[in-house]
Chain A
Amino acid sequence: MMGHTIGDGRWAMRLVPIAVIALVLAFWEWSVAAGFVRAIRFPPPSLIVASGYELLVNGFPRGTLLSAHVGATLYRILLGYGIALAMAIPLGLLIGSSWLLDRMFAPIVAFCRSVATLSLLPLAIVWFGTGEASKVFLIGYGCFWVMLSNAIAAIKQVDPVLIRAARTMDTSTRDVFAKVILPASLPRIVAGARVALGVGFMVIVGAEMIGTTRGLGALIMEARTFYRSDITVVGMFVIGAIGLVLSIFLSRAEAYLVPWQQHQRMAA
């Protein structure tokens, strides 16, 4: 397979997922039309597109457009995610480098990582009020602990051979860190950033339960409250699409930051 021209391979690779999605949608639409599946339980793609349009133009509830929901959530996620990463990566590097700190913090990290966002709602209100700060906190909380865990693991898994090699060349400790350990841990840090982004999105419904009706999480709550399963699905698609776009950004960032990390071209 590797022998074929790269051009053909790449186009085909891009088309396959699109083709699969198209097939699934067509089958779905058909099964609702044919009566095998009830529209209430599985809103057909045609209804979802129509509701998506309604959401774009009229909004739900009427007056709050999709763009407003998307804007509100993006703001909160980027802020919460950004702050979480800015705090977690340096802290993770620090903790991962020290055996003592790692052992001391391991229980706290494992504990805090397991606290559900819904559980934190009352605390978020008390500490940050009912405005944007509490939502940014709740989103950031989830991102922080996951990113921290990944950053710590990233440092610990740097190939010791590299470090020893650098030391034999009389590299200063600071340079060992900045020029060897840090770059070597970048790929795993980026992978961790990807997981943390997912977690950030995962908690938006809980995070946006307080003090707002704008936002994709709040939209999903509204849609569920009023039994508009079509809008719930539109919301899910929009969230998924945004997540996909952001993940592509992350891949681009990875390619820029870590140009030497070739993902292995193995047997196709």
Chain B
Amino acid sequence: MNRREFLTNAALTGAATMLLSRAAMAQGAPEIAEISFGFGLDPVFAPHIVAMQKGWLEEAGFTSVTTTSFTGGALAGEALIAGEIQLWTPGNLPPISMVHTGIPVVVLGTNCIAAAADNLVARADANINAPEELYEARIGLLAGSTASVSLSQLAKHYGLDEARLQVVNMPPPEQLAALNAGEIEAFLCWQPWGHNALSGGATLVHSGTTSGFEQNRGEAVQISATRSLFVASQDFVRQSPNATRALMAALVRGQGYVSDPAHRSEVLALVAQETGQEPAVVEAIWDQYVFDPTFDDGYVADMQTMTDYLESSGRISDGMDPLSYTYTDPAAEAGVTVEVAGGWQP
């Protein structure tokens, strides 16, 4: 669906959610009053931030909402497994890995579509204007991240041999340092790293959704399947259905709020403040995130792309149907459009 349709939906959803959350409250107070979110430094956490700031979670009956920030990728997932946090908002690759390892988690919805936030940037002096020129570049990439899937998809789309690409594994801050020092010629990463590189004089070779190659500059080419998801443990959802519903209601409401252009400056300021990022940076990358919780073919396709990558790169075997661990009821009750229903039930 396009932006306008979504925004109309969002407005309606916002109204519906307010009524629905009253209805949800009528069904019963949350089973646990204290919840903890895994948190991070991206703008993807805007709905959480707004929901907390506006007190919607307190309204729903949660007496204490804490956020726990994790600087390392796997830590939040480990904390979820240990029961230390109840809601996790990762990219769509880690939960798929988890499910295939037998860890009982469930996807409650899409937080945002972050495809456009994946950027392949290169040093200006590397002169990368055509896909084939990527063979000559050392490309920084975090192994096992959503960015590595995007690179793989880019190679597929432009007919490149993935095995010939020189990929250098390292975490994002080191990717930026290495690019500046000339140790690598390019890197593919999520925000704000791409933005930081561009501010330092790098060029945008390809974004998750748009090409920067000379041959088709500006053409819409989808190479990224990256989404930010709401993930919880199956135990939590089974034992605390009211809490799950209330949580989703508040977060979906947050999504609607941050998508509304009328709230833009307010939301940007809040996000900058809570995440510690520079306001100018948040402003620059904001439009790359689409906070659309709709369950549609796009969701299934993105999840399938991730699953296929995990299988082909030898990390998992026997890929599972994404809908088998997707639970769409709480989102549906919060007013989200469910074109493709999730297969999981408590």
Contacts and interface: CB of A to CB of B under 8 A. Distances in A.
**Pair from one complex:** yes
Interface of A: 39-41, 59-63, 121-122, 125-126, 129-130, 209-213, 218, 222, 224-229
Contacts of B101: 226-229
Contacts of B168: 130, 210-211
B103 interface: yes
Given A225-B144, A227-B97, A125 B74 contact: no
B71 to A, nearest CB: 10
Contacts of A211: 168-170
Contacts of A213: 143, 169
Contact of B315 (A39, A121, A129, A226): A226
Given A125-B174, A210-B170, A213-B169, A40 B314 contact: no
A227 B183 contact: no
Interface string B181-225: 101100000000000000000000000000000000000000000
Given A125-B177, A125-B178, A209-B169, A226 B183 contact: no
B171 A126 contact: no
A161 B316 CA distance: 66
Contacts of B78: 224, 227
Contacts of B315: 60-62, 226
* Interface size grouping (class) on chain B: 20 to 34
Contacts of A62: 313-315
A130 B144 contact: no
A40 B77 CA distance: 12
B103 A225 contact: no
Contacts of A130: 138, 168, 170, 178, 183-184
Contact of A226 (B144, B171, B181): B144
B98 interface: yes
21 contacts: A59-B314, A60-B315, A61-B313, A61-B314, A125-B170, A125-B178, A125-B183, A126-B178, A126-B183, A129-B183, A210-B168, A210-B169, A211-B168, A222-B143, A224-B74, A225-B94, A227-B81, A227-B98, A227-B101, A227-B103, A229-B101
A40 B103 CA distance: 7
Nearest to A228: B101
Contacts of B138: 130
B307 to A, nearest CB: 13
B102 interface: yes
Contacts of A224: 74, 78
B102 A40 contact: yes
Nearest to A129: B183
Interface of B: 73-74, 77-78, 81-82, 94, 97-98, 101-104, 138, 143-145, 168-171, 173-174, 177-178, 181, 183-184, 310, 313-316
B144 A222 contact: yes
Contacts of B184: 130
Nearest to A212: B169
- A60, A210, A227 — most chain B CB neighbours (10 Å): A227
A213 B168 CA distance: 9
A216 B264 CA distance: 46
Contacts of B104: 40
B81 A122 contact: no
B303 to A, nearest CB: 16
Nearest to B179: A125
B298 to A, nearest CB: 25
Nearest to B82: A41
Given A125-B174, A130-B170, A209-B171, A225 B143 contact: yes
A227 B77 contact: yes
A40 B82 CA distance: 9
A38 to B, nearest CB: 9
Nearest to B144: A225
The residue in B78, B101, B145 that gathers the most chain A C-beta atoms within 10 A of its C-beta is B101
A225 B81 contact: no
A101 B39 CA distance: 49
Contacts of A212: 169
Select the residue from A63, A129, A211 with max chain B CB neighbours within 10 A.
Answer: A211
A79 B174 CA distance: 24
Contact of A122 (B143, B145, B173, B310): B173
Tell which of B144, B173, B184 has the most Cβ of chain A within 10 Å. Answer: B144
B313 A227 contact: no
A122 B82 CA distance: 32
Given A59-B314, A218-B169, A227-B74, 17 more contacts: A39-B102, A40-B104, A60-B314, A61-B314, A62-B313, A122-B174, A122-B177, A125-B174, A126-B181, A210-B168, A211-B168, A212-B169, A224-B78, A225-B74, A226-B97, A226-B316, A227-B101
Contacts of B81: 40-41, 227
A12 to B, nearest CB: 40
Contacts of B170: 121, 125, 130, 209-211
Nearest to A126: B181
Contacts of A228: 101
A225 B310 CA distance: 12
Nearest to A122: B177
A54 to B, nearest CB: 10
Contacts of A59: 314
A62 B310 CA distance: 11
A251 to B, nearest CB: 36
